[in-house]
Amino acid sequence: MNLPSQFLQRMEAMLTTDFAPFVESFHRERYSGLRANLLKTSVENFQQITPFSLEAIPWCKSGFYYDAAAESERGLRPGKHPLHEAGLYYIQEPSAMAVAEQAGTVIGRFCEGHSAEDELRPFRVLDLCAAPGGKSSQLASLLGGRGFLVSNEIVPNRAKILSQNMERMGLTNGIVVSHAPEELSGRFPGCFDLIVADAPCSGEGMFRKDEDTIGQWSPENVEMCAERQKDILKDAIAMLAPGGTLIYSTCTFAPAENEGVVLWILRNYPDMAVLPADPGEVSGGLRLFSPGRPEWAGEPLTEEETAAIERCARLWPQEVKGEGHFVAVFRKNWEEEDRERTWIGGAKPPKKGKKVKGASKGFGNQILKKAPAEWRAFSEEFFDDGEAALNRICGRGWNFLLFGEQLYAVHRDCPDLSGLTVMRAGLHLGTIKKGRFEPSHALALALTPAMIGDLHLENRCLELGIAGGGGNSAEYDLAVRYLKGEALDVSGAAGAAERLPEDGWNLATYGGYPLGWTKVSGGSAKNHYPKGLRWV
């Protein structure tokens, strides 16, 4: 790997005796990781049903290492497996899992003893630079259906990928939007209990993972990134509620983008305090991460500033099984009387019957007073009781939102969407067509085995295989045929499910986990897996 000479010179001056093992780490194979989706499964259940050989990642309770080469020799590709398409896990770089995991304690403190059906004020979370969705989906896992998540990505094409990943993971209590941070900060001042800002950076920590980032590196780019990060953080801090938590992270080693930015926050925002980012001791007194380095901040520091920077965490590739990362956790200090607030700046929750303007050009968007007739007909046939089913899927307190022909169920704390570029609003239920309703892929993926049991949908499922099946089983091959878009024979021929499904809409499932929809008629299951997702 041909690392930039100026980068190496700077790192040698920074690391001195640790420089040689640092450079050597770039010549080792990088580590692969995946994270169980706690919205759909528990860590224990995931370990039982997965066909992969996994090793726990110490800083993420739901994260695991896997050996990509070894799995390939066994005929398995974690990135192309039915369980992946069902949203049971997210493939994510191991060190990156350390960022959102910092939110676990904060979210847990709020959610302890509260169910998704509680009428309490939801815990409001913003992932400010969210694409492709690893940290947002991890935050959703930690929320467990409680609270409300806004996932934002400024680049429209990346926002579409973010939206697709959040759909696959089964998110119901959130929206995906595409805006510059300054556009959001004017809309949501002081609104969020938790903000994650994994800021765009010079990418030095990803050199081993993505060699294209090497050619884009320069000292000038490092300085440009540091200034851009400060601009992003100005807006993040403006949107943070009193007492709220801000998690700032980068995947770079550059002090200008790490310790330098932390010092800038401390000196410009005296109400922001740094909390410990290291998860603490593991076996034998070993600490997982290295502290921030005050001597790299570039300026003389007070004792308080020195202690604050030391509370930050650095993940070094020569010390952990992962790439380079930096994490800082801040809390906005507050007075008790400042705590209560609502969505403000035009962002109040929508009311039933209220017209919503401008969220998607060309469509008349409307919060509905009652369910459309087409949805009622579908839900009465499929669910028996559509409203009770949505209470089970989305939690209590949701509204119907109509985007042209597209019907959504939106969370009770969803802000007014007027003027926002919305990529996904809550749970996409499906499309209203003349005289009929066509359920969405998102609705299928929002269902879990437990929900299928609670809603008595066992007779509306076409089981395509067992979850732990390998890459050469008949059941696995049947699931692959579905994922390729093929129609399936369900008349009782070889390879079909033992129990014949009812005519009409059915869930195609793998190990009980929905992959998508089929429509059964006359012994044949028409495939409704989205064309853009089909395997080739």
pLDDT digit string, tens, across residues 1-19: 899 999 999 999 999 999 9
Q: Indicate where the chain has its CATH 3.40.50.150 domain(s).
A: 5-123+186-338
d(CA 35, CA 52): 12
Which pLDDT does position 364 carry in this prediction? 37
Let me know: does 433 contact 405? Beta carbons within 8 Å.
Answer: yes
- Domain(s) labelled CATH 3.10.450.720 in the chain stretch across 457-533
pLDDT tens profile 271-313: 999 999 876 544 455 567 999 999 999 899 999 999 999 999 9
**Annotated catalytic residue: which of 111, 129, 191, 251?**
251
* Phi and psi angles of residue 398, each rounded to the nearest 5 degrees, phi first: -140, 160
Max intra-chain CA distance, the chain: 78
Q: Give the burial class of 270: count Cβ atoms within 10 A of its Cβ; 0-12 exposed, 13-18 middle, 19 or more buried.
A: exposed
Please state, in angstroms and as integers, the Cα–Cα distance from residue 416 to each residue in 296, 344, 365, 390, 484, following that order: 44, 10, 11, 21, 39
Question: Phi/psi at 397 (nearest 5 deg)?
Answer: 95, 70
What predicted TM-score, i.e. pTM, was given to this entire model?
A: 0.91
Q: Supply 76's token pair.
A: 């398995």
* Residue 191 is a catalytic residue: no
- Alpha-carbon separation of residue 457 from 29, 155, 353, 360, 450 (angstroms): 45, 39, 32, 34, 10
Give how far Cα 471 sits from Cα of 188, 246, 487, 498, Å: 48, 43, 21, 21
For residue 44, the model assigns a pLDDT of 97
Say how many residues make up the chain. 536
pLDDT, mean over the chain:
88
pLDDT digit string (tens) for 472-510?
577 788 999 999 999 998 876 444 445 567 889 999 999
Q: Looking at the domain that runs over 5-123+186-338, which CATH code has it been given?
A: 3.40.50.150
Q: Which fold has domain 457-533?
A: Nuclear Transport Factor 2; Chain: A, (3.10.450)
Evaluate whether 241 touches 192 at the Cβ level (below 8 Å). yes
pLDDT tens, position by position, 340-376? 444 433 344 444 444 433 333 323 356 888 889 999 9
